[in-house]
Structure 1
């Protein structure tokens, strides 16, 4: 078991030599910040599925809110796995980040709309937090695509 763990770590973004000299400036993003974001979004999705997200329930049908939460958690988990093994699963991360960007846009819009509908501008203000994450996700979509091209990963656009 220990041997398998060592092999997985060595093949991951946390393995020695996984990040080239060109990407040294974003080492912290790739090894800490982006995985932490993905983990937080997995937990957000699971929590939303188990207990509901009030803004989504207020704006949409409760079943939609539940399915939305489960889908967000699943997409974030895919992003985390894709980020961990970019040479093999970069497309999983790229697709997951695109899904997360769309879903967080919906969530931010729902918060803003729910706040306007209930005359609670504080609730609307919170809607800008998920919207602030969208540019980070779009940046990563572009960045992982460039990495795939530069490193010649399988299926990379030319």
Structure 2
């Protein structure tokens, strides 16, 4: 379980979208992500090869249009863990769709995935105006939907007071 305090984790200067983050910085992060996904996933190695995508040739955010889409059917066809891009030892949580429209989609998460979802949800709560003086109740069924990770991961912590109340 992630035990850091939010006060130490949140930098008030980066809580919201930073327009000063250059396209170059964004592109570098995107390319790093794509390399990790392709390196770890035979599914995406094949998908990028078939689409003739060379990550090194992505030179601008406009080049995003070169990337192939992944469709829900492909997620189902890769059941159960055919899209996983990390070793099994890095998976700390697995969620599944209900399968009501077809075969369930299984989604493995790393510790970083869970923590990132939690931080994103916490930022949403803060943007909605919650402070450390508020209490909220989150009551999903325990067959959590994928976005539920963030809802339950940080709820035991106190939101920091960044804004005066």
> Greater strand percent: which structure?
2
Q: Greater share of helix residues, 1 or 2?
A: 1
TM-score, length basis structure 2: 0.28
Q: Name which one, 1 or 2, has greater alpha-carbon Rg.
A: 2
TM-score by length of 1: 0.28
Q: Greater relative contact order: 1 or 2 (C-alpha under 8 angstroms, separation 6 or more)?
A: 2
